[in-house]
Amino acid sequence: MGIDSLVGGTIWDEYSQKVTDLMNNPQNMGEITEEQAKEMGAQLIVADFGAESCGDAVRLYWAVDPDTDKILSSKFKSFGCGTAIASSDTMAELCKDKKVDEAVKITNIDVELAMRDTPDVPSVPPQKMHCSVMAYDVIKKAAALYKGVDMESFEEEVIICECARVTLDTLKEVIRLNDLTTVEQITDYTKAGGFCKSCIKPGGHEEKDIYLVDLLDDYEKEKLASKASLGNDTSSDINFEDMTIVQRIKAVDAVIDKHIRQMLIRDGGDMEILDIKENGEHIDIYIRYLGACSGCESSSTGTLYAIDNTLQEKLSKKIRVLPI
């Protein structure tokens, strides 16, 4: 397939006209020399940043007024694709006339939005969103050099979706508050996962420590544990066999607290769970009677039957209670 057929197809339809124009005619490409910075009475900052995911790199030049921290001039050099050039040019433009503390607040979303022709249509295809992330990162690098700090000091929270700059805490809160169960719902609420999609699950262009599917899985486990700890009477909602040992103990304790313990306490006794083990077809729950229950004759008959029957009804038919 030739170049003409590619251009005549749909590839370029995914790029805004602004991006296409900046690819061919960037307005801020170049460098600021030490002499030029001195003529402006400014401090020269030169920051480099490379994207491991694609091999692109960008160099950002700032001329900063040391008395006001204002960025008097901003230029760049880009070593990468056309999208990287357009993103870097837009980033450099956004930095102009801002103080360093203001510039560091510029996000990749700001860069991408500034390259759109219309507010509701993305300026680049999803797989190219990382180019605007690189532009955002080099701003942090330049600000860190100017302030003499580590660039990570500007990142106060764990970022899960680099494209949309969505944090771990934000995603957890949105998932819980809205009881989200799918990645599509997360994207609708937060934009996370809507661009390069590397944050959704393993296998994308960039490896992550935490993915959106992990957060959904953690939330489902939290809901399961919460139901178990409350002693939810709807056994179909509690898959006792799939719980961890800690979740099983919490579930059993919750049922005992709700249905058994008060009866024991009224008679001057109590009980505690010692261990839970799988034994063939059974899930054995080892308990110890306390107080008056430890010497009561019914502890091995009527009381034991009541405990055994209640746990089987509320949690699992496989349960077998064994006093020690």
Q: What is the pLDDT of residues 254-268, one digit of tens each?
A: 899 888 888 888 788
Which structure tokens are listed for 232?
A: 């939810």
Residue at 156: amino acid letter? E
Cβ-based neighbours of 68, under 8 Å, separated by 6 or more: 99
Please give the Cα distance from 21 to 85 (Å, whole number): 11
What pTM value is reported for the model? Answer: 0.54
Confidence of residue 227 (pLDDT cuts 50, 70, 90): low
Give per-residue pLDDT as tens, 239-253: 888 888 888 888 898
Q: Give the CA distances from residue 59 to residues 38, 138, 147, 191, in Å, rounded to whole numbers and listed in that order.
A: 20, 7, 18, 28
Beta 269-279 vs 282-291: how paired, if at all?
Answer: antiparallel
54 flagged as catalytic: yes
Query: Among this protein's residues, is 131 annotated catalytic?
Result: yes
Residue written as token pair 């006794």: 269
Which tens digits make up the pLDDT trace of 168-218? 988 888 888 778 899 999 988 778 898 888 999 998 877 889 999 999 999
Whether the Cβ atoms of residue 89 and residue 27 lie closer than 8 Å to each other: yes
Q: Considering 131, 163, 199, 293, which one is annotated as catalytic? A: 131
